[in-house]
Structure 1
Amino acid sequence: MSNKREFTAPFFTLNPKSYLYGDEALALALYADELAIEFDIDLFFTAQHADIARIKQATKRLIVTAQHIDAIKPGRGMGKILPESVKSAGAEATFLNHAENPLTQADLTKAIERANEVGLITIVCADSIHDAELIAHLKPDIIVAEQTELIGTGMTADEEYMRQSNQIIHRISPTTQVLQAAGISTEDDIRKAIRSGAGGTGGTSGIVCAEDPKATLHSMIKALVQ
């Protein structure tokens, strides 16, 4: 297994999805990098695959993250995302099984194996406690415990759901970190997620669609480290 970049809790994930790309994504990544340095935290920044190299070259502290990889090896696989290609471009982590790009259990297992082979941190989404329990047996580096119906709503899971999902994941895979997400949009949401026992949290629309994304990100990171 290739060496992976180490990271520590509390950590934050900024996931612009397809809201931002090119110059706009780079501008937010540069600011996120400043915050990661200022507050001395590990901050995962997901990027469009075409933007990975550019963002990696321009930043110092960010953990640049692919939004997806496929479980293929060099050779055939037209149109698929080769793990070696995103690693070569500078990515140090990858999301897998997001609600907007779900995988079968078989494909997810293979994708995690390939990510491990090339040295990519695996951030795997689970849309229910049952799903989180199944995924925990695959021992990814991070499980994102987010209920699909809450994504983009500005509403978060209750603390009991957060605590229960944290406990189940840690019981099965003690080395897996838990990221509580979905609907995270305020400082209070950040505090609730960390108070539940999660190692990290993060956001998408609550940040990139805010009136002032940079100010919102700053306030969230500040709440995280406090």
Structure 2
Amino acid sequence: MTVEIKKPFFVFNPKSYLYGEELVKLAKVADQMAAKYPECSVLVTVPFADIAPVKNETENIIVTAQHIDGIKPGRGIGHVLPESVYHAGARAVFLNHAERPMTVADLSKAMKRGKELGIKTIVCADSIDEARAVAIMGADAILCEPTELIGTGQTSDSSYIQQTNQAIKEIDENILVMQAAGISTPEDVYRTIELGADGTGCTSGITNADSPADMLIDMIDALMKAYTERGNQ
């Protein structure tokens, strides 16, 4: 079954900060927020071994893999088989993250395999030129995130957000644009959506919060508030 990523969307990306029961607990909070706002999409990226446990305990989020390789069943020990993550319950995948960069050839193969299986591809780009290239390759969503801002608490400036939004939409208006560099507060989420992004997300701002669950809730509330006030219902 293919899922659709709706606008606006929020991605909780705990990377390798969380796993096991603690991750499932927060995924359930995200699931509750996805049920509260059925008009938006909430994605949770999880380590490969946690895909099935998170999927089994949730109903409304889009469980998202952190990577796939462009391989088919057969040889390829140590690589990530797309069929495997799909079978476990993932319906979206992050590709080419700064912490897991890919060559153009490998990225193209992985995107092709994702499309064959109905796995939505969210491809990371750290410059406007790279965002244009990824848009031409046919990503479902593009995360525009300057590498130097990741984890700093410093968000992209408004001109970068607006320029990347425009550059991508000029190539294909159906590609979703995600802006997430340095997001650490609900106010950052609000500002990013207010400036025109289709979605945003957060890692350390949630995992390092005094109450990760409360921060996750507040960020998704801010997302919906900004999107509604921007004139989108």
**Range of TM-score over shorter length:** over 0.9
Unaligned segments of structure 1, at least 5 residues: none
Q: Within 1, Cα distance between the matches of 2:181 and 2:47?
A: 20
Q: Deviations over 1:85-107 (max 9, x none)?
A: 00001100000000000001111
AA partner of residue 193 (structure 1)? T
Q: Deviations over 1:127-177 (max 9, x none)?
A: 111111111111111000011111001110011100000000111122110
2:21 to 2, 20, 23: 23
AA partner of residue 81 (structure 1)? V
Q: Which residue of 2 aligns with 1:115?
A: 114
TM-score (norm 2): 0.94
Q: Which residue of 1 aligns with 2:228?
A: none
AA partner of residue 16 (structure 1)? P
AA partner of residue 135 (structure 1)? V
Q: Which residue of 1 aligns with 2:50?
A: 51
AA partner of residue 29 (structure 1)? A
What is the Cα deviation at residue 211 of structure 1? Answer: 1.4
| Bigger mean CA offset, 165-174 vs 63-72 | 165-174
What is the Cα deviation at residue 39 of structure 1? Answer: 2.4
Q: Within 1, Cα distance between the matches of 2:88 and 2:214?
A: 29
Q: Which residue of 1 aligns with 2:37?
A: 39
Is residue 95–residue 123 contact of structure 1 (8 Å, CA) maintained in 2?
yes
Q: Does residue 1:221 correspond to 2:220, yes or no? A: yes
TM-score (norm 1): 0.97
Q: Within 2, Cα distance between the matches of 1:20 and 1:222?
A: 22
Q: Within 2, Cα distance between the matches of 1:4 and 1:160?
A: 34
Q: Which residue of 2 aligns with 1:13?
A: 11
Is residue 194–residue 201 contact of structure 1 (8 Å, CA) maintained in 2?
yes
Is residue 98–residue 124 contact of structure 2 (8 Å, CA) maintained in 1?
yes
Q: Does residue 1:91 correspond to 2:102, yes or no? A: no
What is the Cα deviation at residue 71 of structure 1? Answer: 0.4
Q: Deviations over 1:3-32 (max 9, x none)?
A: 621121011000000000011111110111
Q: Within 2, Cα distance between the matches of 1:208 and 1:123?
A: 21
Q: Deviations over 1:184-216 (max 9, x none)?
A: 011221122112211100000111111111111
Partner of 1:207, secondary structure, is helix
AA partner of residue 7 (structure 2)? A
Runs of 4+ displaced beyond 3 Å: none
Q: Within 1, Cα distance between the matches of 2:24 and 2:187?
A: 28
AA partner of residue 154 (structure 2)? M
Q: Which residue of 1 aligns with 2:150?
A: 151
Is residue 28–residue 214 contact of structure 1 (8 Å, CA) maintained in 2?
yes
Is residue 28–residue 57 contact of structure 2 (8 Å, CA) maintained in 1?
yes
AA partner of residue 63 (structure 1)? I
Please give the root-mean-square deviation of Cα atoms over the aligned residues, in Å. 0.9
| Bigger mean CA offset, 131-140 vs 67-76 | 131-140
Equivalenced residues, count = 224
AA partner of residue 97 (structure 1)? N
Unaligned segments of structure 2, at least 5 residues: 226-233
Q: Within 2, Cα distance between the matches of 1:4 and 1:108?
A: 21
